[in-house]
Amino acid sequence: MNVRFLVGGLAIAAAVAYLMYTGIRETSAYYLTIGEFLPQRESLSGTGLRVAGRVRPGSIAYDASTLRLQFDMGEFEKDASGPFVPVRFTGIKPDMFADGRDVIVEGRYTDGALQADKVLTSCPSKYEAKPEAPDQAAG
């Protein structure tokens, strides 16, 4: 009777280990900034990736009828003249998605573009402290 429990326990442990391994393997993705990604984009072609960057102003094209979103993503600099990579996504556009917004794109680099499975936006900096007004009581 103890042998049955041992064999059953080992079978369950093996099944759980296999499910954990395949789950981690399928969801694992490299996380890179756009500056790290651009020089090695060809060698990462077809690999699951997470790439962080900034939406290039004026590059957003969204068709609400087909849910196709296209935009260019570049580095986190304020200057919009740097190198960019095109991003293609089919799905509902994130609520806070806009020009100049920091985004994380999850997907694969194929055919010269990031084919996104997910587009995540960062929260705007609306909670930054306001500059202090000069103290009018002094003087």
Domains of the chain: 30-121 (2.40.50.140)
Q: What is the pLDDT of residue 132?
A: 59
Q: What is the pLDDT of residue 107?
A: 93
pLDDT in tens, the chain (139 residues): 688 888 888 889 898 888 887 766 655 556 788 888 989 988 888 888 899 999 999 999 999 999 999 999 998 876 667 889 999 999 999 989 999 999 999 999 999 999 999 999 976 555 455 555 555 555 5
Return the closest-CA partner of residue 105 out of 91, 118, 88, 93: 118
Q: What is the pLDDT of residue 138?
A: 52
Q: What φ, ψ does residue 56 adopt, rounded to 5°?
A: -70, 125
Q: How far apart are CA 32 and CA 44, in angstroms?
A: 11
Return the closest-CA partner of residue 73 out of 126, 25, 21, 36: 36
Q: How far apart are CA 90 and CA 63, in angstroms?
A: 10
